[in-house]
Amino acid sequence: MKTVLPAPDISRAIVRIAHEILERYDGADSITLLGIPTRGAHLATRIAAAINAIEGGQVAVGTLDTTMHRDDLRTRSPKALLPTLIPTAGVEGRHVVLVDDVLFSGRTIRAALDALGEIGRPTSVSLAVLVDRGHRELPIKADFVGKNIPTSRSEIIKVNLVEVDGTDEVTIAEGGVK
């Protein structure tokens, strides 16, 4: 197991993503950040904090659970639901930025897009991820990427965040470890 993104790099990546988002949408007013629980939600909160630090104000931030929209439900035992918290402004007419920790097959994002479709019709939807590790199974790409980390399919990428794991770091390990 080795660290591919230490804590300072994570912080820098978050700030950079915040700047890129602001640049793309010309300010924070029309943006709604929706983090995908668990770690995506914490990243969304941090990006929101970074945006607020730059802009002043309060960017809209919430969470979007994809559990009930996944296409692999029947391959595993049912999971507990995680919170979906849509900011009061809703998604209608907003630039929604989905936030997740790792982009891999793209299936979680597809489920998130389906879930979002049930909620309303945003003006646009984009995607921010801390790590893009490749191996897409769907035509999905991230708009804002903390770091591209080429991996083999069997390797395991683990994002640790202080809020959940007590530490900030991204590690990579060989797969197939017992």
Partner 1 sequence: MKHLLSINDLSRDESILILDTAAELARISDGPMKKLPTLRGRTIVNLFAEDSTRTRISFEAAAKRLSADVINFSAKGSSLSKGESLKDTAQTLQAMGADAVVIRHPASGAPFRLADNQWMSGAVINAGDGTHEHPSQALLDAYTIRKHLGKGAKDLAGLRVAIVGDILHSRVARSNVLLLTKLGAHVTLVAPPTLLPFGVDSWPVIISYDLDSVIPQVDAIMMLRIQQERMHEIFFPSAREYSRYFGLNRDRINALNPNAIIMHPGPMNRGLEITADAADSARSVIVEQVSNGVSVRMAILYLLLGGAPIEGGIN
Q: Which of 39, 42, 69, 94 binds partner 1 (CB under 8 A)?
A: 69
Both tokens of residue 50? 């970074």
73 near partner 1 (CB under 8 A): yes
Site size for partner 1, by CB under 8 A? 22
Contact mark string toward partner 1, 85..114, x via CB under 8 A: -x---x-----------------------x
Asked if 173 contacts 151 with a C-beta cutoff of 8 angstroms, the reply is no
d(CA 101, CA 128): 8
Comparing CB distances to partner 1, the nearer of 32 and 151 is 32
Stretch that binds partner 1, among 21-29, 61-69, 131-139, 166-174 (CB under 8 A): 61-69
Query: Smallest distance, Å, CB 35 to partner 1?
Result: 15
Both tokens of residue 158? 């683990």
d(CA 158, CA 43): 14
Among residues 25, 26, 43, the alpha carbon closest in space to that of 34 is found at 43
Q: What are phi and psi of 17, to 5 degrees?
A: -60, -40
Comparing CB distances to partner 1, the nearer of 1 and 81 is 81
Among residues 129, 126, 168, 167, the alpha carbon closest in space to that of 149 is found at 129
DSSP string, 13-51: HHHHHHHHHHHHHTSSTTEEEEEPTTHHHHHHHHHHHHH
118 near partner 1 (CB under 8 A): yes
Q: Which of 1, 53, 81, 162 binds partner 1 (CB under 8 A)?
A: 81
Stretch that binds partner 1, among 7-15, 96-104, 118-126, 128-136 (CB under 8 A): 118-126
Residues near partner 1, by CB under 8 A: 65, 68-69, 73-84, 86, 90, 114-115, 118-120
